[in-house]
Amino acid sequence: MISTSPRRRLFGTFALATAVGLWALLGSARAATPVDEEGFRRIGGIEQWVTIHGQDKSKPVLLFLHGGPGSPLSPFAKRIYGDWSRDFVLVQWDQRGAGLSFGRNPEQAGSSLTLERMVADGLELTERLQQQFGPRKVLLMGGSWGSVLGVQMAKLRPDLFAVYVGTAQLVSAQANGAASYKQTLALAEAAGDAGTVSALKAIGPPPHRDPRAFGVLRRAIRAYEAKGSMPAPRDWWQSEARYQSADAQAATEEGEEYSFLQFVGLAGDGILSKIDLPALGPEYLIPMHFIQGELDLLTPLTVTQGFVDSIRAPEKSLTVVPLAGHDPNPALIEAQHRLLLRAAQQMSKEN
C-alpha cells in the first residue's frame, strides 16, 4: 500500500479541482456557437429582411427597432454595433416598407402602412426568434419611430420581453410636435437666425397639413443639434458592400420616400398623427428604460421625462446623455450598451 501524506492528498485534491475547473472553462469556450444569418423571412404575409449576428448563440437575443420609418439600420449595424456581438445575439430587421423589405415587395407602394400591422409584424418576428433560440425572453430596443413600435410591443406582449430600452422616445404627435417647434424656434430667435425663424414661422406650429413642413422643421433641428452634439464617426454611415448595389440603394431610397409619406400623410393625417402612447395606460409589466440625448429637439427631453414619470413598471429609468441630440453618436451608443449589459446580467440571475 502506498501511503500519502495529508499535505499531498490536499495538493492532489486541489490539482484535480483546478484541472476540472479549467476543463469546464475550456469546454464552455468550445461550446460557444456563433450565429451569422442574413435573409428574408415571411412575416405578416410578406418576405422581410432580417439579419442575425452573434459570437455565441446562447447569449441574450437583442431585437433592434429602427427609426424613420423607412430608415433601416442593417446597412450600418456592424460598424455601429458590431462589438456588441460578444455580448448579445444581434437582430436587425428592415421593417415593412423599409430597405430590402420594401425592395422585395414593390407592390406595397400602392398600399398603406399602419401602426397596428407593424406592431403585429414585430411580435411575430419575436415569436420566431424564440422558436429559433429557445423560450428565453428577448431584449427589445427601439429608437425614434422604432420606440413607438417598442412601447406598443412591450405593452401588448410582456411575456415575450425581458426589458424595453427606448432611445429618442417618441411619445405623442401633439406633445412632441409642440415642444419640438417651440424649442427650435426659441433657439433660432436667440441666435438671431432670421432665415430659420422666417422658415419656421411660415409653416407655423404643428399640426401641419403640408408634408413638406415636417422637412422644414427637421432641417432646422439638425442644424441646431449639430452645434452642441458630439458627431458620429463618418464611417458609421458607410453601408456594407451588400447594401451598395444599385438595386439595394434604390430599394432603400424608394422605401424611405414611401414610408415618410405614410408617416406624415399628404394632409397631416399619416401614422404620426395617431401616435399617443399615454392613451395606452400607465401600467407596464416589464422594466422600461429610456435614454435621451440632452440636446434632442425632435423628441425633446421634457416630453420624454413626462412620459417616464407617468408610467408604472417593475423598474424604470431615464438616462440623459450630454453632448447628444436625436441621432446616434458614441455617447448614446455607450449608454445603451451599459444599460443592456445590466439587463442581461439581471436575466442571468433570474435564470
8 Å CB contact between 299 and 168: yes
**Mean pLDDT, each 10-residue run in order, the chain (351 residues):** 37 39 45 95 97 97 97 96 97 97 91 95 98 96 98 98 98 98 98 98 96 96 95 94 96 96 95 97 98 98 98 98 96 97 89 72
Kindly state the helix (H) or strand (E) to which residue 64 belongs, with its residue range: strand 61-65
Cα dihedral: 72, 271, 153, 109 (round 10)? -50
Residues facing residue 292 across a β-bridge: 320
pLDDT of residue 15: 39
| Nine cell digits for residue 50 | 432580417
pLDDT of residue 17: 41
